A and B are shown apart, each in its own frame.
Chain A
Amino acid sequence: MVRVPSGKYKKGLDFKTDTIPYDYWIGKYEITNTQFVEFINSALKNNFIQIKNKVLYYQYPGDELVAKAFYKVRQFDKIIYLRNDSIILNPHFANHPATGVTWFGARAFCNFYGFRLPSEPEWEKAARGEKEFWFPWGNEIDSTYANYFNSHDPFEPGTTPVGFYNGQKCGNFQTSKAMSVYGCYDMAGNAWEWLEDRWTATTPYNKGKGGGFAYHTPAFLQIYYTSSFGPSVAPDLDMCHISDGFRVVKKLTND
């Protein structure tokens, strides 16, 4: 994780100055499939999550907008799947971001380990600090910086390993060092990242930022942009979008 100090940052489309009055840790990388499978196994042992009809469920404790109920964590697929009651991770994707994770799945992971999801201000500050950047590394973008729709990386059309865009070469594919101001990777492209924030005080859908490898082009990868995919298309709160992942946050002081 990287430490983000309290202080000013630029937010939104017009770079207004805002302040976060506390230091916090935020994931340097998106949570990987390896980390997510470790969570699934430990959480199943502790009865923190359950498998019902071959689907993983988490009993969300409920809040002012969402009822206490069982919600999907993540759909089994070709990357993480069930075989003879064991959770199997396709080793090819071990260091790739965990995707297809619902907001409830991300919350379950955070609650299990004592983390939480970033708020929108925490995420934006970690992405560009006080810089008036369009993207976490500056204002330029091309396929050497991030994994997006048709970006022709060696892992197309899927996710890239976390931290792939680090200035190194992978075969013939040269990457640029696409680190954020505070040293976070993949804050533009690869997985969409769930936030703690809801769309509005009366809307039970949560925001996502920093997507996305599958369908989104650079316009949607900008720091200011927040995904509307869920609310406009998906009425199910726990629908598994193939692009959705997350990174975690922890405050330095009592949270």
Chain B
Amino acid sequence: MIKYLAIVVVFLLTVGCTETLTVHAGDEVMLLFELKNGSGARIDNSMQPQGQLPLRIIAGKGYLIKGMDKLIIGMKVSETKTQKIMPEDAYGKSGVFYLDENGKDKYVISPDDTLTVKIEVLKIKRM
């Protein structure tokens, strides 16, 4: 009887210890990302000329645009998610632009553009 009980305890402990950690608000998270505008053009990502540079954030605390901050909640380490982000959860009516050769606004993200974001969680640290 004691032998069976021990097996059950070991089993429960093992399952408990391997329970997958998911991102909660307030967790420190390392992630990779890619952001595309409504035309499908990549506008920013973690790939830099010398390699991947992860983003370190506190989840749910406004470290990212709203849509990305919402998407990350509940994700697991090594999980990748791709999702559309509506303008109200991204850059809204302002869009993103730079100045062209005539000093005019040239949009990288048009006003009211819906973006596509891809996020991969690398690490979660419960604070």
Contacts and interface: CB of A to CB of B under 8 A. Distances in A.
Interface string A206-242: 0000000011011110101110110111100001111
Interface stretch (B10-18, B42-50, B77-85): B42-50
Interface in B4-53: 42-50, 53
B88 to A, nearest CB: 12
Nearest to B109: A215
Contacts of A219: 55-57, 63-64
A229 B44 contact: yes
A217 B65 CA distance: 7
Contacts of A55: 101
Interface stretch (A19-27, A30-38, A162-170, A197-205): A197-205
A155 to B, nearest CB: 14
Contacts of B43: 232-233
B54 A13 contact: yes
Given A13-B54, A217-B65, A228-B44, A240 B49 contact: no
B94 to A, nearest CB: 6
Contact of A241 (B48, B62, B64, B98): B98
B49 A205 contact: yes
B99 interface: yes
Interface of B: 42-50, 53-57, 62-65, 91, 94, 96-99, 101, 103, 108
Contacts of B56: 13, 134, 219, 222, 224
What are the 9 closest A-B residue pairs judged by CB atoms, nearest first? A199-B49, A219-B63, A75-B99, A228-B48, A240-B99, A75-B103, A218-B63, A219-B57, A219-B55
Contacts, number: 73
Contacts of A234: 98
A240 B44 CA distance: 17
Interface of A: 13, 55, 75-77, 100, 134, 141-142, 149, 157, 199-200, 203, 205, 214-215, 217-220, 222, 224-226, 228-229, 231-234, 239-242
A203 B53 contact: no
Contacts of A225: 53, 55
Given A219-B64, A222-B56, A233 B99 contact: no
Contacts of B48: 199, 226, 228, 231
B57 A231 contact: no
B44 A76 contact: no
Contact of A217 (B46, B47, B63): B63
Contacts of A239: 98
Contacts of A229: 44
Contacts of B62: 142, 217-218
Contacts of A76: 103
